[in-house]
A and B are shown apart, each in its own frame.
Chain A
Amino acid sequence: MLLVITLIVFLLANLMPGDAAMAMFGSGDGSITVEAIEQQRENMGLNDPVLVRYFRWLGQLLKGDLGVSQVTFQPVWEMIQLRIGPTLLLMGTSLILSIIIGVALGIFSAVKQYSIADYILTILSFIGRSLPIFFIGLIFVYFFALKIPVFPTSGMHSMGASGFADLLKHLFLPCLSLSILRIAEFMRYSRASMLEVLNSDYIWTARSKGIKERAVLIKHALHNALIPIITLIGINIPVLFSGAIMIEQVFQWPGLGMLFNTAVTQRDQSLLMGLCLFSAIIVLVSNLLTDIAYALVDPRIRYE
């Protein structure tokens, strides 16, 4: 699986117009001749057949070497390492926030099915899922950073400032913008999941025993309703990464998303390959973690 992914990443990156040789010389400069570029290509081994280049790249990869950026000449792995922290911070806080809020609202909505609160929440979740994530970001910046300047518009730290409080202030808006969609999604799924559970036979069995309704909901319904939501967490991580690309652009958050944007616009092939690979690994790891989490909460799987 990983091998197929590396092949796809490599092929896609090599299909991009322009290559490293051209990138090195920049564009629009008349003094560079076609011969000079050709010479550079030869030197860099770019004229070798695709498969040869692929295996060379793969060989380096196995040694943990992602190559060197064609634009900044920094090692790609170093560039990625530098940006992982901010992205993981953004995605992590957003994931936790959306699970807590989304699941709580969804469960509440399900327990109060057909009530006005349920109806309003359902509509709100529809709206939440329909807002473009970058538009949410812009709206937040407009209202909470420009009109009422409570929060900073961009970046991760104020000039010269550091420390936790400053970071939190910078994190708040991007994290919230990134979370709105996920909250809506988690809410919808947990509501559906809880409703299904509440209609199950074993809920009536629990009630027939005369235990308190609260115990029925918490001990019996909630645990069962949460099991399918675990899968949802796994599905949401790649989506969250897509969202982070947009949000980091809007808030100039110095993470992998911004790096990816730059890589795409500058056609920095090795950086792009590294980032694509890295994002695919994030997806695979989150799938794996989901399976493990699933087995932990569901005894049916544990004993099979």
Chain B
Amino acid sequence: MTNKIILSVKDLSVAFHKRDGSTYAVNGISYDLHEGETLGIVGESGCGKTVSSMALLKLISMPPGKIETGSAIYKDGKDLVALSSKELRLYRGREIAVIFQDPMTAFNQVMTIGDQMIEGYVEHFGCTRKDALKEAERLMDLTGIPAAKTRLKDYPSQFSGGMRQRAMIAMALMCKPSILIADEPTTALDVTIQSQILDLMKDIRKEFGTSIMWISHDLGVVAGLADTVNVMYAGMIVESADVDELYYNPLHPYTKGLLGSLPSTDIDNDQKRLKSIGGYPPILSKKIEKCPFADRCSEATDICRHGCPSLSERTGQHYVACFNV
């Protein structure tokens, strides 16, 4: 990890405007991604972690989805929000690549794995099919798929779940992107396969020096992988800190709640029951006007119900959006 910022998100808001009402999925989030950094984005389902990341490449249905005015995403000095979909296409897969959550559905079932892997490569580099297939074979080898050469001709249904996810990762690496967005790539897999994939990702980070945005609802997985963690709630970043700082010194009541609900491996602790956070996240059909966590928060005071706190720095590099810390 270096100090060079390769992606800077400023005040990103995404909303879905449908006939029967709007959903404000992402509400003004800002963060920087450094070269070689692994950034964990953590939150419950529906907190906007996936939408905010996919919006970087406009990989959401638009309409009804819309990146609200005032949002900016800077990559190499260019604002990606302002780019047309044609110009943005040059970034997709080439600069920023995505590893999707469910390898079962993320592959096209009627195309061979090889054809799907080389598509983007041929498009971006304009090389021949043969060269592209050679590169695909190399990457499949690297990601631990045996007999890569013959497997390229196989269809996704002939791959097991773990192998498909390896192929998905190999596919994302084809164009040597500087950023990988990994959208819960282990959630759909068995536990043993999960740890294999995690190890693979660590190897890749070492080998390619790629920055990774790791989206997950699982604080445990993120703890072992990320350098920095953004905790998201109701489309906002409520806490952001270095991974050790966040785990040993959580400040936001929501983060504390999330950590409290983690099962502990500490034997002395087995008397303690797992805590869960009472209540449900708010329905995001209106713009946020008060602290979205106030209704579930045991420390909430009057001020929390009348205004929305913004993310601000407490101790060095530790940011929290809460009135009471």
Q: Is the CB of B105 within 8 A of A210?
A: no
In this complex, how many residues of chain A approach chain B with their Cβ under 8 Å: the count is 25
Q: Is the CB of B108 within 8 A of A212?
A: no
Residues of A within 8 A of B57 (CB): 208
Residues of B within 8 A of A299 (CB): 109-110, 155, 157
Q: Is the CB of A209 within 8 A of B155?
A: no
Q: Is the CB of B110 within 8 A of A303?
A: no
Interface segment out of the listed B74-82, B119-127, B221-229: B119-127
Q: Is the CB of B92 within 8 A of A209?
A: yes
Nearest chain A residue, comparing its CB with the CB of B123? A211
Q: Is the CB of B111 within 8 A of A220?
A: yes
Of the candidates A208, A211, A303, the one whose C-beta lies within 8 Å of that of B59 is A208
- The answer for the CA separation of A213 and B89 in the assembled complex, in Å, is 9
- The yes or no answer to A287 lying at the interface (CB within 8 A) is no
- The answer for the CA separation of A224 and B156 in the assembled complex, in Å, is 14
Q: Is the CB of B155 within 8 A of A300?
A: yes
Q: Is the CB of B155 within 8 A of A201?
A: no
Q: How far is the CB of A224 from chain B (nearest CB, A)?
A: 6
User: What secondary structure prevails in chain A residues at the interface with B?
Assistant: helix
Q: Is the CB of A219 within 8 A of B85?
A: no
Residues of A within 8 A of B166 (CB): none
- The yes or no answer to A73 lying at the interface (CB within 8 A) is no
- The yes or no answer to B63 lying at the interface (CB within 8 A) is yes
- The answer for the CA separation of A219 and B123 in the assembled complex, in Å, is 14
Residues of A within 8 A of B97 (CB): 208-209
Residues of B within 8 A of A210 (CB): 89-94, 120, 123-124, 175
Of the candidates B91, B120, B155, the one whose C-beta lies within 8 Å of that of A303 is B155
- The yes or no answer to A101 lying at the interface (CB within 8 A) is no
- The yes or no answer to A114 lying at the interface (CB within 8 A) is yes
Residues of B within 8 A of A60 (CB): none
- Interface size on B, as a range, is 20 to 34
Q: Is the CB of B106 within 8 A of A207?
A: no
- The yes or no answer to A202 lying at the interface (CB within 8 A) is yes
Q: Is the CB of A202 within 8 A of B106?
A: yes
- The yes or no answer to A43 lying at the interface (CB within 8 A) is no
- The yes or no answer to B158 lying at the interface (CB within 8 A) is yes
- The yes or no answer to B44 lying at the interface (CB within 8 A) is no
Given A208-B92, A224-B110: A114 in contact with B63 (beta carbons within 8 A): yes
- The yes or no answer to A204 lying at the interface (CB within 8 A) is yes
Q: 1/0 per residue A280-304: CB within 8 Å of B? A: 0000000000000000011110010
Q: Is the CB of A208 within 8 A of B105?
A: no
Interface centre among A114, A204, A219, A300 (most CB of B within 10 A): A204
Residues of A within 8 A of B90 (CB): 210
Q: Is the CB of B158 within 8 A of A206?
A: no
Pick 12 A–B contacts, CB within 8 A, sort by A.
Answer: A202-B107, A202-B109, A205-B100, A205-B107, A208-B93, A209-B119, A209-B120, A211-B93, A211-B123, A298-B110, A300-B110, A303-B158
Chain A residues packing against B (C-beta within 8 Å): 114, 200-202, 204-213, 215, 219-220, 223-224, 227, 297-300, 303
Shortest beta-carbon contacts, A-B, top 9:
A209-B120, A210-B92, A210-B93, A209-B93, A201-B105, A208-B98, A202-B108, A299-B155, A201-B106
13 additional contacts, CB 8 Å, given A210-B120, A224-B109? A202-B105, A205-B116, A206-B116, A208-B57, A208-B97, A209-B92, A209-B93, A209-B119, A211-B89, A211-B93, A215-B123, A220-B108, A227-B110
